[in-house]
Amino acid sequence: MRKAIGVDLGGSHVTAAVVQEDGTILSQHEQDITDRSFEAVIAAVENVIRPAVKDGKEKDLVGIGIGSPGNIDLRSGAVLYSPNFMWENAPLGERLRSSFSLPVFVANDARCATLGEYRFGMGRGTRNFVLLTLGTGIGGGIVSGGVLLVGNRAGAGEIGHHQIRPTDGFICGCGKVGCFEAQASGTGLLRHAVAVAPSFPRSMLLEKSPDKLGSKAIRRAAQAGDGHALAAWKNFTADLAIGLANVIAFVNPEIVALGGGVSSAGDFMLDAVRDRVEALTTMVPKGTTKLVIAKLGNDAGQVGAASVAFAGGLTEQHGK
């Protein structure tokens, strides 16, 4: 069975895996990223690819697929713009091709994760599928008619940047107001907690130092019944439901899978949004879209990136 290297490059972490064509991960190597300069990130990526290539035996590997944040030039592998790293026209593919003799293919990280979850996770067997990764931001991807939507310039699937509260929302990292990402990501949950804090002066959340108050702490406090956390959770899930209903109206998928760190809330999150999504989904036949938690977790990006390598690169017709 063919093997490839799949690399998932995040803002604070990079992982490389040896992946079989059936989606099986044979080995993984990872490293934290503390310096986001281009040269430092390249060094970190090379540090995880080298042992992966050794594990997979270079002569048995078809190539290296890399999922990177940002807008990607699929032909050259350049990162045209990445707010995560503050890169513009960064020659990621070119630099890695000079370091390794294997073919190197670069695609957006969220689209890679979507491809991985579609082929080997909760999207398997469907024709119309959406993955949303709820983390520091909101990434995602759309499969329609069995084809991953890539777009004219590989920009399709930026689900996190449709506006759901353009007049009274939080400012998004992209500069707009009230983006889905700004309202319903892990960062959004923290912002909701800050916004309602004046009403809960005795909240146990306020005892935490700002650097330790994150979405996981807020979610756990909500599950424990803390009033402050529950108020933030209510506003967060209300915004999440709006965005999900919009996605369903846009695409009418069979399944929307929720991945990323915030999705670890599992049924606690799904139970909070299902009825709201159903109520807001007015022009799509009721009950045609199922909300689920993604299956592959953090492995989706590596498996999807390897799939891009198996296919010889991502194209506008990249499906099964």
Residue 227: the pLDDT is 94
Q: Which residues pair with 293 in a beta bridge?
A: 258
Q: Which pLDDT score is estimated for 248? A: 96
Q: CA dist 93 to 8, 32, 70, 301, 305, Å?
A: 14, 20, 13, 17, 13
The CATH code of domain 126-295 reads 3.30.420.40
Percent of the chain with pLDDT over 70: 97
CB 219 within 8 A of CB 233: yes
Start-to-end Cα distance in the chain: 17
Q: Is 102 left (phi over 0), alpha (psi -120 to 50) or beta?
A: beta
pLDDT at 314: 85
CATH homologous superfamily, domain 3-115+299-310:
ATPase, nucleotide binding domain (3.30.420.40)
CA distance 155 to 167: 25
Extract the tokens encoding 148.
């991953």
Average pLDDT over the chain, rounded to an integer:
92
Q: Name the burial class of residue 184, with classes exposed (0-12), middle (13-18) and buried (19+) by CB atoms within 10 angstroms of its CB.
A: buried
As a whole number of angstroms, the distance between CA 136 and CA 142 comes to 20
Which region holds residue 92: left if phi is over 0, alpha if psi is between -120 and 50, else beta? Answer: alpha
* 28: Cβ contacts below 8 Å, ≥ 6 apart: 15, 16, 17, 18, 52, 302
Cross-strand bridge partners of residue 27: 18
Low-confidence ranges of the chain (pLDDT < 70): 208-212, 316-320
DSSP codes joined into one string, 299-310 = GHHHHHHHHHHH
Q: Are 112 and 304 in contact (CB under 8 A)?
A: yes
What is the token pair recorded at 130? Answer: 């959406």
pLDDT at 319: 44
Query: How many CB atoms within 10 Å of residue 208?
Result: 14
Which tokens is 291 given?
A: 């909300």
**pLDDT in the model for residue 320:** 42
pLDDT of residue 84: 80
Q: In the chain, what are the domain boundaries? A: 3-115+299-310, 126-295
Could you tell me which residues come within 8 angstroms of residue 234 by beta carbon, excluding any fewer than 6 positions away?
272
The string of DSSP letters for 74-92 reads TTT--EEEETTTTEEEE-H
Q: What distance in Å separates the CA atoms of residue 34 and residue 308, rounded to the nearest whole number?
A: 27
* Longest alpha-carbon distance in the chain: 62
